[in-house]
């Protein structure tokens, strides 16, 4: 059951994504959450504490999503199956529900000038990278948090470009094939590991978008 604090944190993320940093106020969160005016300020007295709460909630949600994924991941998952998660995540983050991605971008901007937000964002990024590396290693890939973190950074840049650029610009710079992009990002950042029976990396078994919890917007992608 979602607690009042979790409800407010989720609402902070939604308001941040919808209205941007300038639109994030205690009153805006109260209205969006449907709680009496002043409720949000009782939990999070300052604007910076709102931003830190958003980062903390995204980290928590990502951890819970990874735990669910780990519980259903077959022991013999292949590198190709792990790679297939990233096109699904890219599609979901950009075309289906960009809330978490947009909130993430706003947190990055706020973190430039707010040390407290920077620390909270740093914890989230490291946690996400460690979780991603653990999934990669489950498939026999010699991945580290550095590799997964680089993948997350690549992913964030591509996803933001897909959200922000007009279609003609997306085509002109070669970003118009999200499936190939997702696979390409994975292969560029993650070291290759064990090979499949045919000498390749194995074949996908349709893991699908449920696996789309690893990456910069991962927490929210799976939390919904």
Q: 81, 102, 130: which is closest to 24 by C-alpha?
A: 102
pLDDT (average), residues 46-70:
86
In this prediction, residue 169 carries a pLDDT of 98
What domains can be seen in the chain, in order of their start residue? 4-223 (1.10.357.10)
Q: Is 75 exposed, middle or buried (0-12, 13-18, 19+ CB in 10 A)?
A: exposed
What's residue 193's pLDDT? 53
Q: Is the pLDDT of residue 212 over 70?
A: no
pLDDT at 72: 80
User: Model pTM greater than 0.75?
Assistant: yes
**pLDDT (mean) for 129-151:** 92
d(CA 173, CA 92): 21
Which range among 70-74, 91-95, 139-143, 150-154 shows the weakest confidence by mean pLDDT? 70-74
Average pLDDT on 81-89 reads 91
Q: What is the pLDDT of residues 9-25, one digit of tens each?
A: 999 999 999 999 999 99
For the CA atoms of 69, 90, 142, 128, what is the dihedral angle to 10 degrees? -60
């Amino acid at each position: 059951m979602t607690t009042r604090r979790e409800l407010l944190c989720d609402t902070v993320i939604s308001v941040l994504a919808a209205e941007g940093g300038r639109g994030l106020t205690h009153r805006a969160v109260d209205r969006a959450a449907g709680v009496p005016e002043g409720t949000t300020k009782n939990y999070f007295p300052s604007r910076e504490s709102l931003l830190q709460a958003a980062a903390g909630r995204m980290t928590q949600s990502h951890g819970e999503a990874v735990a669910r994924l780990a519980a259903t991941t077959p022991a013999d998952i292949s590198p190709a199956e792990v790679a297939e998660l990233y096109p699904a995540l890219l599609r979901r983050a950009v075309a289906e529900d960009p809330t978490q991605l947009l909130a993430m971008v706003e947190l990055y901007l706020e973190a430039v000038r707010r040390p407290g937000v920077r620390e909270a964002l740093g914890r989230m990024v490291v946690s996400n990278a460690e979780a991603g590396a653990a999934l990669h290693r489950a498939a026999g890939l010699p991945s580290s948090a550095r590799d997964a973190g680089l993948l997350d950074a690549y992913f964030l840049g591509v996803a933001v470009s897909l959200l922000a650029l007009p279609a003609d610009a997306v085509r002109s710079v070669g970003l118009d094939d999200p499936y190939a992009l997702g696979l390409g990002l994975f292969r560029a950042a993650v070291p290759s590991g064990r090979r499949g029976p045919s000498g390749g990396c194995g074949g996908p078994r349709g893991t699908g978008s449920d696996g789309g919890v690893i990456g910069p917007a991962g927490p929210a992608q799976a939390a919904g």
